[in-house]
Amino acid sequence: MEPERAGGRRDLAVAARVAVETMRLIQLASCLLALTSFSERGMAASNLRPAPVGAPGNAPREYTRFEEPELTMGFMRLAFGSDMQRLGGGEDRLHRFDHRVRFHISNTGRVDRSEMYKRVLDDFVLRVPRIDASVVDASTPPDVIVRLVDSKDFMRTLVAALGNSTAQTFILQTHPRCTTRSRTDEKGLILRADIFIVVDQGNDTFLDCAYHETLHAFGLMNHADDVPWTTLNQNRSVGYLSVYDRAMLQMLYDPRLQAGMTRSEVQVLLPAVIRELR
């Protein structure tokens, strides 16, 4: 009887390996189908150019021209929903600020990257005409607090700012090097955003986190790993403000789009909004 049990175990092992290989083939087929679907939708991003001066050395090149379906797809993916980024009103609505956004930078890390973050924020203000933001000191109530910390203090800083339960959830479901938590009201207005970024993992990591999390803070709260042009694709490390993400913010802060709008309300307005980007 013992040999029969051993043979049974071998059969189960073989079956398990076959199941794993089958799943891999299914996943590969799914990826190929997704790429085919992507192509058939007429995606035609063009005008590829090198990453801008000052970007990390390994930063990807960027496309600078996009068709309406590409911009619409990205906006609907990034501006609605969130990956545990937001606490407050219903997710399926637009979220944004309705006034000049005041940023306060708090550095407790061994490397002070406050000036580097200021340059990142200046990049948003200079390159996205509809973004109005400034850095304020501790005497002015902020809309966004940017906490720059060492890796060893990341979790402790999250707990102190958000409470243990919320911090544990964030650490499990967001990037351990940086994250953003936003609070919104029932109308979709952002009341407060808290950005947390580690400072002791090098310039490239810091820049990637700084641009990524600032996009979240302004209201692009979701990720889109199927959109290949955005910094908010978690499979990419970018480290600069891309043309595509600038377009996303220009669309989000277009005066025709208001905080609290639903997907259907936004979709009606997007064609006109996108036409004026060109």
What pLDDT does 83 receive?
A: 64
Cα–Cα dist 15/23, whole Å: 12
pLDDT tens, residue by residue, 229-243:
999 999 999 999 999
Q: Locate all alpha helices (DSSP H) within 112-153, ordered by sequence.
A: 114-127
Q: Which band of pLDDT confidence, cut at 50, 70 and 90, is reported for residue 6?
A: very low
Q: At residue 39, does pLDDT exceed 60?
A: no
In Å, how far are 19, 115, 214 from 137, measured between CA atoms? 58, 14, 18
Q: Which band of pLDDT confidence, cut at 50, 70 and 90, is reported for residue 46?
A: confident
Query: What's the start-to-end Cα distance of the chain, in Å?
Result: 77
Query: What SS3 class is residue 241?
Result: coil
pLDDT tens, residue by residue, 206-222:
999 999 999 999 999 99
What pLDDT does 149 receive?
A: 97
**Hey, what amino acid is at 15?**
A
In Å, how far are 53, 117, 124 from 210, measured between CA atoms? 17, 7, 11
Across the range 180-204, mean pLDDT stands at 94
Q: At residue 14, does pLDDT exceed 90?
A: no
Q: At residue 32, does pLDDT exceed 60?
A: no
pLDDT above 70: percentage of residues in the chain: 79
CA-based nearest residue to 111, from 199, 176, 177: 199
Between these two residues, 80 and 175, which has the higher pLDDT value? 80
Q: At residue 22, does pLDDT exceed 70?
A: no
What pLDDT does 13 receive?
A: 43
In Å, how far are 121, 122, 152 from 116, measured between CA atoms? 9, 10, 21
What pLDDT does 175 receive?
A: 63
What pLDDT does 20 receive?
A: 37
For the record, the structure tokens of 100 come out as: 């000049």
Q: At residue 40, does pLDDT exceed 90?
A: no
Domain spanning 67-275: CATH 3.40.390.10: yes
What pLDDT does 190 receive?
A: 96
Q: How does the average pLDDT of the chain come out, rounded?
A: 84
pLDDT tens, residue by residue, 128-185:
999 999 999 999 999 999 999 999 999 999 899 888 887 877 777 666 789 999 999 9
Max distance between CA atoms of the chain, in angstroms, equals 80
Helix (DSSP H) and strand (DSSP E) numbers for the chain: 8, 8
Q: Where are the domains of the chain?
A: 2-40, 67-275
H/E stretch holding 65 reads strand 62-65
In Å, how far are 29, 151, 158, 196 from 163, measured between CA atoms? 43, 18, 7, 14
What pLDDT does 125 receive?
A: 98
